[in-house]
Amino acid sequence: MGQQEQPGEEQQEPLEYPQVSILYCIKCNWVLRASWYQQELLQTFTAKASTAEEAVIRSVTLTPSYVPGTFKVFVKRATGEGWVIVWDRKANGGFPEAKVLKQVIRNELSPETNLGHSDKSSTRGVLLSSLPGNRAGDTNDGTRVPSPREGVPITYVPSDSEVSK
């Protein structure tokens, strides 16, 4: 049988918040894609932190789905809060670029966080934070920009060159 352990100063809880959960279709063999997003998110949101409290996200879980075609990304701020969907492959018309996924997660959990190169223009489309009024908290014409938590839809906006292909 397993030995019970109480977290001490040098230990962390196995599941901590804010958390990201990636729900992926196992029938579509999307586990590698999901794990790649997982590694990208962990690298981006935890690499500069020297303690767990400084990390924008504290855990990223992969959850297999038996519903064909499912690929959704959720975030949860704390134990008592509900899950917020930040990406749905079907609703958003495909898989997100890593930069776009990082932006929507950042906008939900920590709008003030600078993503460095992930905030620069994309070769495949316009990034959410580069659109007027799409970065939560920023102002455009004196108005407050809502976050995805406030019910504003998040979409990938293709560039003009991508649309004309």
User: pLDDT of the chain along its 165 residues, tens only?
Assistant: 556 655 555 555 567 889 999 999 999 999 999 999 999 999 998 888 888 888 889 999 999 999 999 999 999 999 889 999 999 999 999 999 999 999 999 999 888 887 776 666 555 554 444 444 444 444 333 434 344 444 444 444 444 444 444
CB-based contacts of 153, cutoff 8 Å, min separation 6:
none
Separation between Cα atoms, residue 100 and residue 18, nearest integer Å: 19
- Measured N-to-C along each axis, helices 31-46 and 98-109 cross at an angle, to the nearest 10 degrees, of 50
Give a yes or no: residue 51 inside a domain.
Answer: yes
Residue type, 98: A
Write down the pLDDT at residue 70: 97
Q: Which domain covers residue 132, as residue numbers?
A: 19-163
Q: Is the dihedral of CA 58, 64, 69, 70 positive or negative?
A: negative
The CATH number assigned to the domain holding 99 equals: 3.40.30.10
Give a yes or no: residue 83 inside a domain.
Answer: yes
Give the residue from 56, 49, 51, 63 showing the smallest Cα distance to 18: 56
Separation between Cα atoms, residue 9 and residue 27, nearest integer Å: 41
Write down the pLDDT at residue 84: 94
Write down the pLDDT at residue 5: 55
Write down the pLDDT at residue 157: 41
Write down the pLDDT at residue 71: 98
Write down the pLDDT at residue 99: 92
Domain count, the chain: 1
Give a yes or no: residue 10 inside a domain.
Answer: no
Write down the pLDDT at residue 114: 77
Write down the pLDDT at residue 138: 41
Q: Return the number of other C-beta atoms located less than 10 Å from residue 121's C-beta.
A: 11
The pTM (predicted TM-score) of the whole model is 0.66
Give a yes or no: residue 3 inside a domain.
Answer: no
Write down the pLDDT at residue 101: 95
